[in-house]
Amino acid sequence: MPELPEVETVRRALESALLGRVLTAYRVGKPTFYRRPPERVLKVLPGRALDGVRRRGKYLLLDFAGEELSLHLGMSGRIVIVPDGGPDGPHTRLTLSFGERALRFEDARRFGRAGCRLPPLGPEPLDPAFDADALAAALRGRAAPIKALLLDQRVVAGIGNIYATEALFRAGIRPRRASGRLRREEVARLCAAIKEVIAQAVELRGSTLEDESFLDPEGRPGLAQKMLRAYGRETGACGHPLKDARPRIGGRTSLYCPLCQC
DNA sequence: CGTAGACCCTGGAAGC
DNA sequence: TGCTTCCAGGGTCTAC
């Protein structure tokens, strides 16, 4: 479940491994992602140098001398740096060759994407422009549960189920609270909690849960799972048993502490 | 426009 | 043991 901190960790690893290298070839896996990467985007890349690796929300943006290739890891996507020329794995969906190294995009569930247009995205959570005023404006008049809006990439970009759960736990706000009914002080607390948890998780290079669903492109696990206070736990860091909000919010499990979150 | 829910996918866990 | 069912959740699409 790569979210902003995991994607940022991938970005940094790609930058240090591949920046300045020339893309020599690409190969689309069989089968590839369930949405096929558009050939017209890929075919202009060979011969061009990778001169930038950026991130926007959960999207990676590879800059090739004015041409941009977007990558989204979906749920189970994983980017690995390997020696070029090795055999594909069973879940290799796209390979980008850079001389002696290659970027391999593995994705068991095939929800990942490459070469897609970016949808409208809200502010980056760590951008100073994303503050309590901005969040309050986005929530004003909205009846949807706050958890659903935190997962809505148009409200704020890069947050998924792990860090939405954590931010609400830290802010002491129940996931089903009507967004527009949060008090001003609660919105400010939530905004601060989002920034805090995202910044810490980036610093700790993302969360690697027990299923090891996230490893960076060099195969290293992250450490942010150690600071999770609610996600994936039966007992919160507060010492109280967590509840799973039913019915689900936005189709996702929503753990919260009935005592500490109001 | 806002909201809720179905759908895309498949490995692994749980149930029988 | 081996089969079936359920679950995980990124994003997108449709119905209301």
Q: Is the CB of A123 under 7 A from strand B?
A: no
Residue partners of A119: CB distance under 8 A and separation at least 6 = A153, A154
Q: Which residues contact A7 (CB under 8 A, 6 or more apart)?
A: A55, A57, A58, A59, A60, A73, A158
CB A163 within 8 A of CB A147: no
* CB of A206 within 7 Å of some strand C atom: no
Q: What is the mean pLDDT of chain A?
A: 95
pLDDT per residue over A215-256, tens digit each?
Answer: 999 999 999 999 999 998 999 999 999 999 988 998 899 999
Distance CA A209, CA A221 (A): 9
Please report the pLDDT score of residue A247 as a whole number: 87
Give alpha helix (H) positions in chain A.
4-18, 39-42, 132-139, 146-151, 161-171, 184-203
The answer to whether the CB of A243 falls within 8 A of the CB of A255 is yes
**pLDDT for position A211:** 79
Query: Cβ of residue A1 near strand C, that is under 7 Å?
Result: yes
The token duo for A123 is 């502010």
Task: List the one residue out of A41, A57, A64, A59 whose CA is nearest residue A115.
Answer: A41
Q: What three-state secondary structure class fits A252?
A: strand
Which residue is closest to B4 in terms of CA–C1' distance? A250
- How distant is C1' of C7 from CA of A46, in Å? 40
pTM: 0.97
Distance A253 CA to C6 C1' (A): 14
